[in-house]
Structure 1
Amino acid sequence: MQITWPDPAAIDWGTALSTAQLNAKASVAGTFTYAPAVGAKPEVGVQTLSLTFTPQDKTKYPTTTVVRKLTVHKAQPPVRWDLPSAVLQGTALTSSQITTAPYAIYGIQGTADPASYMTADGKPLGTATTAAAGTALVQATFVPKDSAHYISSVISTTLTIAPAPAMAAIDFGDAKQTVQGFGGSAAWYYNKMTDDRMNVLFGTSGADSLGLSILRLRIAPADWNASARTADTGQWTAELENGISAQARGALVFASPWSPPASLKIVNADRTNPLYSGRLDPAKYADYAQYLNAYIRYAASRNVKLYAVSLQNEPDWDPKDYESCLWNADEMTAWVGGYGAAAISGTTTKLMAPESFYYSQATTDTLLADAKAASALSIVGGHLYGGTPNYSGAAQKLGKEVWMTEHFLDSVNKADGKTSWPTSVDDAIAMAKEVHDGLTLSQYNAYVHWWLVNSNDATPTGLIGTNNKPTYFGIGLKHFSYFIRPGYVHYDATSLPQKGVRVSAFGTPPGAADSKAVVVLVNENAADVTLTTSIAPAGRSLTSLTPYRTTANATFERQPAIGVSANTFSISLPAKSITTLVN
């Protein structure tokens, strides 16, 4: 009689035991009794799991007890930090001037450590210069009251330094990150989208065109022959067709697996499908690298040159009814450090991780703290479900791109009892606020929405409807994606010059022959706002700016140009509006 029970991967406190940990097998029939049982939530520390196997035929086989050790880490609290009010240029900066403080949700108590306030690059807060108007990134450490179960968590926010009350400033001499683009997902799109649809999504010439420049594909869990190192590539073909069309329109294409093939997993017996949940078998780490490499090469043979490939979609989310695979930070670090280079070997494709469900900073920090893993990794990806944009100091220090690779917003018009609803200008503003915060605070290099097209027009979450007309979510994103082209740079600006007004600035790189400028203004207030903005042109000749405006009554409507005099312009922003200015 033989009993096999893999060493369970570490979990975070609060995780209930399941067959992901309690998954022993025996070579003969019998019953398995675990202590603690399925559903128990072990305490923090190294805990003992016990299995008693009672064979069906007790005359031939003895009852056997096996133990395994399980490491339970402290959990990371979900922390938020609302944008504070602006401070005036020239002010001596102290933590007491910051009008908001970090806090945790879901009833988790705690406070920010007063001594932890500093600039995002780790300098004391007093060294943050307010001599120039713009935006300072500041961070603090949230210390949970329940330190036995939660780790302290670093959180960032943007502090606006205004040249005068209710006035904004833009500095085209202070370049931040390069923007790779904006996009959405075609996961599970087995049919090739029509040219009309692709032109709306990725074009820049039609009235409804969104100007997207990134497409995310799903890597279907194709059957894998480990001995021949080949996959059933027919399972990949259909979804790659949209990659061909998007790439033909100048888009970057990257791909994410929702699950490895079942043959490479330790499956979760609680699920109805081996592709749901489970973990990558450590004995199959090399096979998984070869599998991803095979996908990259097959995509190239179909004329899809992948910009990046992710090792796993949402490794920290365990749904019951669709493809998934769980990884903890230690497993991911071991695979990326040991096998990540092999996954992209012989290609120009970049490796992305971790694509956390809620943009887990702790997982990112663990990955990047390992020299081998950090060397293999080019892009830090993540989602915003249950999370908010946050600055990754570790990624910035190591020069890694940071991408938001999936999120969607529910419409403000959604309500209990309703079976259908339209999108509205409030949805466009919500989208624009999230993109703004991601680009200015997190300094994302890319923002990628979830599905491109509504799965159900009655309950819209996509960027366009099935009629190829933009939803207000699409319109909100268009205010960035249409004019901010791949390779443009984010420049410093007063991100929140007054309550309810957001300002962000972009343009061609310093020294470019065509000095393009793009300014996005979001007014979420219920009243009109007049905003005066000063510009440090840094060699750009700006004499006028043309507004494109969305309100409750108009979408992306071109307005008469406004003048720029003595490097200053003034503009009236209607209530609940988004305005993009271009030269």
Structure 2
Amino acid sequence: MRGVTAALLALSAAGCATLAEPSGPSAGAWITSADRSALLTAASPLVFAVRPESGPTVTVDPTQRFQTMVGFGASVTDASAHLIQTRLSEPARDGLLKELFGRDGQGLGFSFTRVTVGASDFSLDHYSLADTADPELKDFSTARMEEHVFPTVRAALAINPDLKVMASPWSAPGWMKTSNSLITGQLKPEHYPAYADYWRLYIRSASDHGVPTDYLSIQNEPDFEPDSYPGMRWPPADRARFIGQHLGPELRAAGIESQILDWDHNWDQPEQPLTVLADPVAREYVSGVAWHCYGGEVGAQSTVRDAHPDKDVFFTECSGGEWSPDFGDSFVWTMKTLIIGSVENWARGVLMWNLALDENYGPHAGGCGDCRGIVTIDSRTGEVTRNQEYYTFGHASRFVMPGAVRVASLEPEGLDGVAFVNPDGSRVLIALNEGTEPVQFDIAEGGRRAATELPPRSAATYVWR
């Protein structure tokens, strides 16, 4: 794999040089195949020419414009940050972060990430930022996040200043809850003011330590109470009350412009965010809805967006894992459902779960015991393995720039795809052939066409001007 990766990076660097200095009507192409014969590998450029339609065609129409993209990425969990900061040498750490967040011809260019406010299951232990029962929050501290999470995010921001950061808690402090514990329970209404203050203190402290909070959700997976790690059930009417009467006014009075996303949970209950957005007071403070992949269908994103076209859509969590160990199967599913499907259903940003985990799928404190990170860092040697999600997301993050606009594309039977126009005017098409036979087709824009072939169970990114 190391030899393949070295060759891949060399090909990608050459390909990105072609992209940076285009010569004539041609398109760069990069391919990943389920059999791993190609891994984000640069292919021969495509040549556009004026000619009539002669077969299956992907038609790109830049005049039909949809959402503006924030970007793609993965979460800097406690586990990911711990591994990056403590299991890699300084040169290896710098190199990995440049590879994941950089845009120097070899980097994936991740421009969206998520941090957990306090502990999740992917922490070394369970904690909040104010564990002492005190509504005045005198002991509030982000010290635990300052150890590994904040330095990792700051380093990523230094590499990619376009990086946007989302913050999500897995639980309010236990003393604020009906369970008197970080595990299970609901937030007591009498502590809504203190919890709004908790958020204000977090955003200010994170900012003081160089970490912005561009987006936040008030609760990760609010319709789930896990029994082995922090979690908190929070019904939609109560979330609306907290946002509309407490958090929204608190942040506005403090001059904090972080955007609030509701839900942050699965596709199977669109009625939950619809209930929050039906509240006229809460709706004023909610900028959009965040979604996870663990239940339901991706079309739920459009169901809610169609009802509230003024609200943004973000896809904020899905994990690969050993329940789907085959490279090809999970590569094809992730490409079809997340990179193409969620964006075709209005997502402005798309996130996988852990940026990095170790050879034992951790560290973690409860919860998922076989989740997979974008990369695996061997906790004994520091060796980095790039997993299928690395290549899937790289097909988008390396080529679709922050500020790109999704545009219309029409694919023939046998292909899935999504298209963009970057701020510099370059076009990007991501196409997937999930079938077992190669597909020959043209890419067409205006009166020009370029012929190509996509191998079975493969995806390609095409870039042209």
TM-score range (shorter-chain normalised) is 0.7 to 0.9
Q: Which amino acid aligns with 1:322?
A: Y
- Specify the alignment match of 1:470 in structure 2: 386
What is the Cα deviation at residue 169 of structure 1?
1.3
Determine which of 279, 288, 295 is the counterpart of 2:195.
288
Unmatched 5+ residue regions in structure 1? 1-162, 269-273, 415-422, 537-565
CA contact under 8 A between 2:203 and 2:213: conserved in structure 1? yes
Is 1:205 the counterpart of 2:104? The answer is yes
What is the Cα deviation at residue 293 of structure 1?
0.7
Q: Which has the larger radius of gyration?
A: 1
Is 1:579 the counterpart of 2:434? The answer is no
What is the Cα deviation at residue 456 of structure 1?
2.9
Is 1:425 the counterpart of 2:328? The answer is yes
Is 1:344 the counterpart of 2:267? The answer is no
What is the Cα deviation at residue 413 of structure 1?
5.7
CA 1:229/1:343 → structure 2, altered by over 3 Å: closer, same or farther?
Answer: farther
Between the two proteins, the alignment pairs up a number of residues equal to: 372
- Specify the alignment match of 1:521 in structure 2: 431
- Specify the alignment match of 1:488 in structure 2: 404
Equivalent positions of 1:95-174 (< 5 A) are 166-174=56-64
In 2, the alpha carbon distance for the partners of 1:339 and 1:164 equals 61
- Specify the alignment match of 2:208 in structure 1: 301
- Specify the alignment match of 1:447 in structure 2: 350
CA contact under 8 A between 2:184 and 2:231: conserved in structure 1? yes
In 2, the alpha carbon distance for the partners of 1:197 and 1:348 equals 31
CA 1:460/1:276 → structure 2, altered by over 3 Å: closer, same or farther?
Answer: closer
Higher helix share: 2
Identity of aligned residues (%): 25
CA 1:359/1:307 → structure 2, altered by over 3 Å: closer, same or farther?
Answer: farther
Q: Which amino acid aligns with 1:445?
A: R
Q: Which amino acid aligns with 1:369?
A: A
Q: Which amino acid aligns with 1:487?
A: G
What is the Cα deviation at residue 502 of structure 1?
0.8
CA contact under 8 A between 2:338 and 2:350: conserved in structure 1? yes
Q: Which amino acid aligns with 2:356?
A: V
In 2, the alpha carbon distance for the partners of 1:398 and 1:375 equals 14
CA contact under 8 A between 1:333 and 1:370: conserved in structure 2? yes
CA contact under 8 A between 2:136 and 2:194: conserved in structure 1? no
- Specify the alignment match of 1:568 in structure 2: 449
- Specify the alignment match of 2:313 in structure 1: 402
In 2, the alpha carbon distance for the partners of 1:424 and 1:206 equals 25
Determine which of 313, 326, 331 is the counterpart of 2:220.
313
CA contact under 8 A between 1:411 and 1:427: conserved in structure 2? no
- Specify the alignment match of 1:258 in structure 2: 170
CA contact under 8 A between 2:320 and 2:373: conserved in structure 1? no
CA contact under 8 A between 2:328 and 2:457: conserved in structure 1? yes
CA 1:169/1:411 → structure 2, altered by over 3 Å: closer, same or farther?
Answer: farther
Is 1:218 the counterpart of 2:120? The answer is no
In 1, the alpha carbon distance for the partners of 2:244 and 2:351 equals 26
What is the Cα deviation at residue 340 of structure 1?
2.6
Unmatched 5+ residue regions in structure 2? 1-52, 86-92, 119-127, 362-369, 378-382
- Specify the alignment match of 1:332 in structure 2: 239
Equivalent positions of 1:495-514 (< 5 A) are 496-499=411-414, 501-509=415-423, 514=424
Q: Secondary structure at the match of 1:171?
A: strand
CA 1:394/1:435 → structure 2, altered by over 3 Å: closer, same or farther?
Answer: closer
What is the Cα deviation at residue 434 of structure 1?
1.6
What is the Cα deviation at residue 230 of structure 1?
5.4
What is the Cα deviation at residue 455 of structure 1?
3.6
In 1, the alpha carbon distance for the partners of 2:435 and 2:139 equals 57
What is the Cα deviation at residue 331 of structure 1?
1.1
Q: Output one character per residue of 1:354-392: Cα deviation in whole Å (capped at 9) or x when no partner.
A: 112446210111111111111111131121112221233
- Specify the alignment match of 2:47 in structure 1: none
Q: Which amino acid aligns with 1:453?
A: A
CA 1:172/1:285 → structure 2, altered by over 3 Å: closer, same or farther?
Answer: same
Structure 1 ranges of 4+ moved more than 4 A: 457-460
In 2, the alpha carbon distance for the partners of 1:165 and 1:335 equals 56
Q: Secondary structure at the match of 1:316?
A: coil
Please, what TM-score do these two structures have when normalized by structure 1? 0.60
CA contact under 8 A between 1:428 and 1:474: conserved in structure 2? no
- Specify the alignment match of 1:385 in structure 2: 294
In 1, the alpha carbon distance for the partners of 2:102 and 2:343 equals 26
In 2, the alpha carbon distance for the partners of 1:413 and 1:354 equals 26
In 1, the alpha carbon distance for the partners of 2:227 and 2:292 equals 19
Q: Output one character per residue of 1:381-438: Cα deviation in whole Å (capped at 9) or x when no partner.
A: 1211122212335445342211111002345763xxxxxxxx5233322221122443
In 2, the alpha carbon distance for the partners of 1:222 and 1:367 equals 27
Q: Secondary structure at the match of 2:453?
A: strand
Q: Output one character per residue of 1:522-569: Cα deviation in whole Å (capped at 9) or x when no partner.
A: 111111110123213xxxxxxxxxxxxxxxxxxxxxxxxxxxxx3222
CA contact under 8 A between 2:109 and 2:398: conserved in structure 1? yes
What is the Cα deviation at residue 319 of structure 1?
1.0
In 1, the alpha carbon distance for the partners of 2:213 and 2:305 equals 22
In 2, the alpha carbon distance for the partners of 1:293 and 1:447 equals 26
Choose between structure 1 and 2 for higher RCO, CA contacts under 8 A separated by at least 6 residues: 2
Q: Secondary structure at the match of 2:220?
A: coil
What is the Cα deviation at residue 264 of structure 1?
1.3
In 2, the alpha carbon distance for the partners of 1:413 and 1:508 equals 33
CA 1:491/1:293 → structure 2, altered by over 3 Å: closer, same or farther?
Answer: same
In 1, the alpha carbon distance for the partners of 2:311 and 2:61 equals 24
Please, what TM-score do these two structures have when normalized by structure 2? 0.75
In 2, the alpha carbon distance for the partners of 1:488 and 1:284 equals 41
In 2, the alpha carbon distance for the partners of 1:576 and 1:227 equals 57
RMSD: 2.3
In 2, the alpha carbon distance for the partners of 1:503 and 1:359 equals 24
CA contact under 8 A between 2:421 and 2:428: conserved in structure 1? yes
Q: Which amino acid aligns with 2:355?
A: L
In 1, the alpha carbon distance for the partners of 2:261 and 2:251 equals 11
In 2, the alpha carbon distance for the partners of 1:574 and 1:457 equals 34
Q: Which amino acid aligns with 1:288?
A: Y
Is 1:374 the counterpart of 2:293? The answer is no
In 1, the alpha carbon distance for the partners of 2:352 and 2:250 equals 26
